[in-house]
Amino acid sequence: MLNKVCVITVKVDNMQEAIHFYTKMLDFKVSEHYGDKIVSLVQDEVPIVLEETGTKNTASNQNVLFGIISEDLDKDLTELKSKGVRLLFSEPKPCPPGRYLVIEDPAGNQIELVEFSNFN
């Protein structure tokens, strides 16, 4: 069932500036660094992740996307393909918590499907 948001990702062009903004201006705390380009902020319900992309945000780019938890990404992938959902890549890719897949809604907004397989 794909109906539970599990993460919100904010794409940033400079991680140090983003960390400064979110921690000093908005009072978030960093919970984890996943290398130089991905940082998780402390958040009660839905984690907020900062991801450095190296490009400046523009009006035409999507810079915030949400992740939906998947209990079985392979099964969900098969079902989404059969429904004709637009996939950004054909197979799940690895990420710090497990694996993920990116789909698009009819307006072109990206949505991550995340399977937390590294925590089982």
- Model confidence pLDDT, tens digit, residues 3-45: 888 889 998 889 999 999 889 987 899 999 998 899 999 888 8
CB 63 within 8 A of CB 55: no
Q: Return d(Cα 97, Cα 101) in angstroms, integer.
A: 13
Write out pLDDT tens, residues 60-75: 567 888 889 999 999 9
pTM as predicted? 0.70
The domain limits of the chain are 5-119
Q: To the nearest whole number, what is the mean pLDDT of the chain? A: 87
The DSSP 8-state label assigned to residue 44 in this structure reads S
Which one of 3.50.50.60, 3.40.50.300, 1.10.10.60, 3.10.180.10 gives the CATH number of domain 5-119? 3.10.180.10
Backbone angles phi, psi at 58, to 5 degrees: -130, 165
Element (H, E) at 73: helix 73-82
Which tokens hold the place of 54? 């190296």
